[in-house]
């Protein structure tokens, strides 16, 4: 440890111990760099482990259990309605988080990565100062630094009339209560995932979304089956609608809405605001370095994730969209390798994305909408899951597998899926896009029967004009 204000020389300081930061620190240490990892919250894992990916997926798993059990009635299996014991739910989720955080601490120790708990700020382009509550400040003079400080929820202006009644995603994941009526503001990833959790646990959920569809930017044919199912699960979904004011009442809040077809006011117990996240670049001393964040607050970086200040790299949410944990990890590995002098660049053909609702929506590579916008000549084929034996046997024929091929070469450029387990199935498509696979490669790959993965092979067969589980193509088509 550093004593008083004597600077200590290190090869690499990583600021932020989320998926991006710990992956970078671990790879750098494995490549022989003396690495210090600074994390303000203490335990490693970042937003993803503590208030993001992991707790939300733990609760979504339980939500699926509840809806699957209720839907088994149609197949002749009847269960009593679940009794929700919030204390035990909280403890169960916290248990998984603690186990995973301890695992990361052990992995850091095993590699000789020193972890310092505290808030890091740049003092100059070669020095980071770490302020900790119960220790003297540490001063680290580095050869290189990686900024991996992540992001935080965007707060909506004008909703300060009822602070107790407003949750962000972290507050909602803490399960403080099970509101009888919950308003979710934002029909994106978080709004739909956490709306699903609360609806399954018994809350009456209403969603308001500013744009004209859920999950803006995702191909509409992938969103449609999810939107249909959510219409049954949620009380209401109001599109083209925004919240203009919130006022606290005795038992909750009165929310004023402005939008087509939406009521002017709604009485709810709680409001979850999920309208996006913004990078953590404030309070980091960036003005003492050569880094100038872009207008949205992201740190501009090159292919190695090097910033405008050549010794300082940036990865993960703070370095730009998409704000996903696996993108942060991949960037962390590239930055660590580049710093260690290895040839490395962040140039993926496909970054998979998954919305873990029921059904799950997943996509990777070029979407149909993006292909159209960029004028890329593509041919898209779709296999409805009603043609999949496995999907029908699961009682879920509402899914869809969609492959987007370069029209003249038959090279796979993108994949989209909606249906249960889409988040697992996307891996094959991501690999295929990354490897430049042709339709023949996918069609010639034997897929296990009966699995949902067969729909990928079948979609490639359809592109080649010879599907088995669909009617034969008409001549000339
Ligand atoms: P973070 O995980 O945000 O970690 C940054 C860390 O830096 C934090 O621990 C913070 O305490 C620390 N820090 C910040 N400033 C300083 C400082 N000055 N000094 C020291 N430490 C500092 N992504 C997925 O891929 N899949 C999912 O299923 C998924 N689900 C999500 C669910 C929710 C509810 C939310 C909110 C997000 C979800 N995400 C998901 C997004 C994912 O959490 C982020 O993309 C990911 O955490 C980004 O990793 P990161 O390393 O860039 O930053
Ligand atoms: P988001 O960008 O996914 O969705 C925000 C939604 O809010 C959009 O649909 C937007 O149109 C809407 N909106 C914006 N302003 C509004 C307003 N005033 N009134 C009503 N609606 C409004 O953002 P998020 O859901 O907050 O999630 C943040 C990020 O975290 C995601 O973009 C994603 O990168 C990450 N995340 C990923 C996962 C996952 O990988 N499964 C899960 C959760 C979060």
pLDDT per position as a tens digit, 103-146: 999 999 999 999 999 999 999 999 999 998 888 889 999 999 99
Distance (Å) from CA 460 to ligand 2 centroid: 32
Q: Which ligand sits nearest to residue 355's alpha carbon?
A: 2
Q: What is the mean pLDDT of residues 308-318?
A: 98
In contact, 403 and 456? CB cutoff 8 Å: yes
Q: What is the mean pLDDT of residues 231-258?
A: 96
Q: Which ligand sits nearest to residue 40's alpha carbon?
A: 1
Q: What local confidence, expressed as pLDDT, does residue 216 receive?
A: 97
Structure tokens at 187: 């029909």
Range with the lowest mean pLDDT among 5-9, 135-139, 219-223, 242-246?
5-9
> Is 119 a known active-site residue?
no
Q: Is the pLDDT of residue 152 over 70?
A: yes
Closest CA to 301 of 289, 314, 317: 314
- Closest residue to atom 5 of ligand 2, CA basis: 275
Classify strands 8-15 and 312-314 as parallel, antiparallel or unpaired.
Answer: unpaired
Q: Is the pLDDT of residue 299 over 70?
A: yes
DSSP summary character for residue 175: -
Task: Please give the Cα distance from 23 to 19 (Å, whole number).
Answer: 6
Give tens-digit pLDDT for 409-435: 999 999 999 999 999 999 999 999 999
Task: Please give the Cα distance from 313 to 345 (Å, whole number).
Answer: 13
Radius of gyration of the chain from its Cα atoms, rounded to whole angstroms: 24
Q: Is the pLDDT of residue 284 over 90?
A: yes
Task: Please give the Cα distance from 52 to 325 (Å, whole number).
Answer: 10
Give tens-digit pLDDT for 192-209: 999 999 999 999 999 999
Give tens-digit pLDDT for 358-380: 999 999 999 988 988 899 999 99
Averaged pLDDT of the chain: 96
Beta partners for 181?
Answer: 204
Any ligand 2 atom below 6 A from CB of 242: yes
Q: What local confidence, expressed as pLDDT, does residue 348 receive?
A: 98
* Helix count and strand count (H, E) for the chain: 13, 22
Q: Which ligand sits nearest to residue 59's alpha carbon?
A: 1
Give tens-digit pLDDT for 321-369: 999 999 999 999 999 999 999 999 999 999 999 999 999 999 999 998 8
Q: Is the pLDDT of residue 477 over 70?
A: no
In contact, 27 and 148? CB cutoff 8 Å: no
Any ligand 2 atom below 6 A from CB of 191: yes
Q: Is the pLDDT of residue 2 over 60?
A: no
Please state whether 190 falls in left (phi above 0), alpha (psi between -120 and 50) or beta. alpha
Classify strands 412-419 and 400-406 as parallel, antiparallel or unpaired.
Answer: antiparallel
Distance (Å) from CA 14 to ligand 1 centroid: 14
- Closest residue to atom 42 of ligand 2, CA basis: 189
Q: What local confidence, expressed as pLDDT, does residue 476 receive?
A: 59
Q: Which atom of ligand 2 is nearest to the CA of 186?
A: 7
**Long-range Cβ pairs for the range 369-378 (8 Å, 24+):** 369/217, 369/219, 370/414, 371/404, 371/413, 371/414, 376/406, 376/413, 377/406, 377/407, 377/408, 378/404, 378/405, 378/406, 378/407, 378/413, 378/414
Confidence band, pLDDT 50/70/90 cuts, at residue 5: low
Q: Is the pLDDT of residue 1 over 70?
A: no
Confidence band, pLDDT 50/70/90 cuts, at residue 160: confident
Q: Is the pLDDT of residue 226 over 60?
A: yes
Q: What local confidence, expressed as pLDDT, does residue 473 receive?
A: 78
Q: How buried is residue 294: exposed, middle or buried, by Cβ count under 10 Å (0-12/13-18/19+)?
A: exposed
Any ligand 2 atom below 6 A from CB of 363: no
Q: What is the mean pLDDT of residues 46-71?
A: 97
Q: What local confidence, expressed as pLDDT, does residue 3 receive?
A: 47
In terms of pLDDT, which residue wins out, 471 or 139?
139
Q: Is the pLDDT of residue 262 over 50?
A: yes
pTM of the predicted structure, to 2 decimals: 0.97
Q: Which of 50, 144, 449, 469 is catalytic?
A: 449
Give me the helix-helix angle, 53-71 and 189-201, nearest 10°.
Answer: 50
Any ligand 2 atom below 6 A from CB of 223: no
Distance (Å) from CA 24 to ligand 2 centroid: 26
Q: What local confidence, expressed as pLDDT, does residue 158 receive?
A: 81
In contact, 10 and 34? CB cutoff 8 Å: yes
Measured in residues, the chain has a length of 477
């Amino acid at each position: 440890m550093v004593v008083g204000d004597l600077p200590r020389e290190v090869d690499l300081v990583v600021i932020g111990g989320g998926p991006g930061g710990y992956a970078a620190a671990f790879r750098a240490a494995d490549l022989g760099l003396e690495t210090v990892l600074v994390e303000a919250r203490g335990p490693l894992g970042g937003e993803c482990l503590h208030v993001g990916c992991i707790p939300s997926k733990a609760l979504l798993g339980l939500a699926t259990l509840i809806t699957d059990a209720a839907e088994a009635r149609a197949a002749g299996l009847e269960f009593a309605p679940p009794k929700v014991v919030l204390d035990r739910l909280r403890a169960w989720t916290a248990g998984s988080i603690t186990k995973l955080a301890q695992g990361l601490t052990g992995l850091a120790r095993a590699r000789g990565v020193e972890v310092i708990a505290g808030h890091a700020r740049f003092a100059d382009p070669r020095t980071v100062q770490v302020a900790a509550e119960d220790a003297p400040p540490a001063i680290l003079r580095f050869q290189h630094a990686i900024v991996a400080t992540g992001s935080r929820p965007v707060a909506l202006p004008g909703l300060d009339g009822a602070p107790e009644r407003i949750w962000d995603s972290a507050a909602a994941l803490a399960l403080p209560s099970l509101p009888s009526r919950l308003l979710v503001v934002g029909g994106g990833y978080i709004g739909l995932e956490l709306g699903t959790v609360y609806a399954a646990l018994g809350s009456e959920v209403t969603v308001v979304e500013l744009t004209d569809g859920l999950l803006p930017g995702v191909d509409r044919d992938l969103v449609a089956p999810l939107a249909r199912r959510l219409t049954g699960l949620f009380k209401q979904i109001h599109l083209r609608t925004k919240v203009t004011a919130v006022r606290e009442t005795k038992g909750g809040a009165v929310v004023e809405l402005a939008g087509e077809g939406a009521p002017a006011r709604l009485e709810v117990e709680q409001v979850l605001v999920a309208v996006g996240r913004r990078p953590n670049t404030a309070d980091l001393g960036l003005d003492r370095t050569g880094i100038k964040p872009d207008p949205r607050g992201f740190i501009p970086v090159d292919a190695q994730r090097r910033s405008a200040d050549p010794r300082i790299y940036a990865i993960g949410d703070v370095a730009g969209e998409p704000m996903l944990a696996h993108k942060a990890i991949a960037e962390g590995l590239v930055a660590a390798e580049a710093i260690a002098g290895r040839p490395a660049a962040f140039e993926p053909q496909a970054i998979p994305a998954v919305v873990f609702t029921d059904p799950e929506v997943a996509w990777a590579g070029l979407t149909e909408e993006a292909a159209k916008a960029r004028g890329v000549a593509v041919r898209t084929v779709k296999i409805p899951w009603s043609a999949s034996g496995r999907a029908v046997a699961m009682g879920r024929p509402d899914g869809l597998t969609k492959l987007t091929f370069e029209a003249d070469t038959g090279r796979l450029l993108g994949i989209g899926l909606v249906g249960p387990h889409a988040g697992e199935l996307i891996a094959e498509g991501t690999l295929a896009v990354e490897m430049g696979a042709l339709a023949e490669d996918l069609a010639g790959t034997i897929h296990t029967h009966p699995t949902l993965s067969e729909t990928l092979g079948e979609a490639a067969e359809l592109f080649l004009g010879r599907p088995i589980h669909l009617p034969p193509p008409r001549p000339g088509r």
